Structure 1
Amino acid sequence: MTDPAAVRLHAALLARAETVAAAESLTAGLFCATLAAVPGVSATLRGGVVVYATDLKTALAGVPAGLLDRHGPVSPDTAAALADGVRDRCGATWGVGLTGVAGPDPVDGHAPGRVYLGIGDGRRTDVHELDLTGDRSAVRSAAVDAAMEALLARLA
């Protein structure tokens, strides 16, 4: 079944002749996979990278190593850098960065369900802090939904 938010996001991007790319940590490709289920999405989805390991955030998404040293992989600054880096590297209009803790255990002092979303267009990058509930699957799904809704809000 195609996700309604993904359908709306594709339509909004298509209407503006814009594209999106995502750098995903805790969602491990779920944002891109959800959007890719929409027919015709090749016109709006440029691509994405799964950067679950911290070093890949630098190698694949362009997050400065110093930023990761200072703030860690789960932080607002990292989410913003993921969004900006993937937008640049994939040549997209919009970049989405997702990082957080799916659970069940805390990571670096962050409770399960803490998620940071970065949404950027090269002029401005917004970061959203979320505290989600549920098991790993529920947290990851809710993070994808929140990212799609946040991007839709920017497109409105």
Structure 2
Amino acid sequence: MTSEIMKEVGSMLIEKHLTVAFAESATAGRLTAEFSMIDNAGKFLKGGIACYDACIKEDLLHVDHQLIEDFTPESMEVTKAIAVGLNKAIPSDIQIGITGLTCAGGSETAEKPVGTMFICGTRNGDAIFSERLHFDGEREEIVEHTIEKCGELLKDYLQSLN
């Protein structure tokens, strides 16, 4: 069931004649799927790339390998880089990247525990919003909270364009 905030964002994108695309690591396409359920999604949704593995970030989204080595695949630096690289693969007005740790086995540390998520929106190569977040719960809950927060960030940005 598509949340009210997502429906609002879809209407705002249509009203402002803007398109959006997603590069999703930790959410693995769930955000793109959520947006595809909104009425008239074809008017604003360009597509999405699930870039779960680092090689997809490097090969398809042109993220420098050294950036991943220096900051880890789950970092704000890499999240911004996948959003910027996305515009080459799927041209759109707004690009949103998401990385993070929904379960053990990534780059988690005491300073960056499981539940740490990164969201970055870009436009014309510049960040329009970026957030480092932490959510408690199981993998599914972390993903759901991240998707909802992304909707809020995008809504706030679109409202700022008035």
Q: TM-score range by the shorter chain?
A: over 0.9
Please tell me whether the aligned partners of residues 26 and 99 of structure 2 are also in contact (alpha carbons under 8 angstroms).
Answer: yes
Q: Any gaps of 5 or more consecutive residues in structure 2?
A: none
Please tell me whether the aligned partners of residues 87 and 96 of structure 1 are also in contact (alpha carbons under 8 angstroms).
Answer: no
**Partner-residue secondary structure (3-state), 2:81:** helix
* One-letter amino acid matched to 1:152: K
Number of residue equivalences = 155
Across the aligned residues of Structure 1 and Structure 2, the Cα RMSD in angstroms comes to: 1.3
TM-score by length of 1: 0.94
Answer yes or no: is 1:151 the counterpart of 2:154: yes
Q: CA deviation at 1:65?
A: 1.7
**Partner-residue secondary structure (3-state), 1:39:** coil
**Partner-residue secondary structure (3-state), 1:116:** strand
* In structure 1, distance between residues paired with 2:17 and 2:96: 17
Q: CA deviation at 1:86?
A: 1.2
Which residue of the partner structure matches residue 144 of structure 2? 141
Q: CA deviation at 1:87?
A: 2.7
* In structure 2, distance between residues paired with 1:87 and 1:99: 17
**Partner-residue secondary structure (3-state), 2:27:** coil
Q: CA deviation at 1:106?
A: 5.6
Answer yes or no: is 1:3 the counterpart of 2:6: no
Runs ≥4 in structure 1, deviation > 4 angstroms?
A: none
* In structure 1, distance between residues paired with 2:16 and 2:139: 34
Please tell me whether the aligned partners of residues 84 and 125 of structure 2 are also in contact (alpha carbons under 8 angstroms).
Answer: no
Percent identity, aligned pairs only? 23
* In structure 1, distance between residues paired with 2:87 and 2:13: 14
1:1-156 equivalences in 2 (<5 Å): 1-103=1-103, 105=104, 107-108=106-107, 109=109, 110-122=112-124, 124-125=126-127, 126-156=129-159
* In structure 1, distance between residues paired with 2:155 and 2:123: 13
> Structure 1, residues 12-38: CA drift from partner, whole Å, max 9, x if none?
111110000000001010100001011
Q: Any gaps of 5 or more consecutive residues in structure 1?
A: none
TM-score by length of 2: 0.90
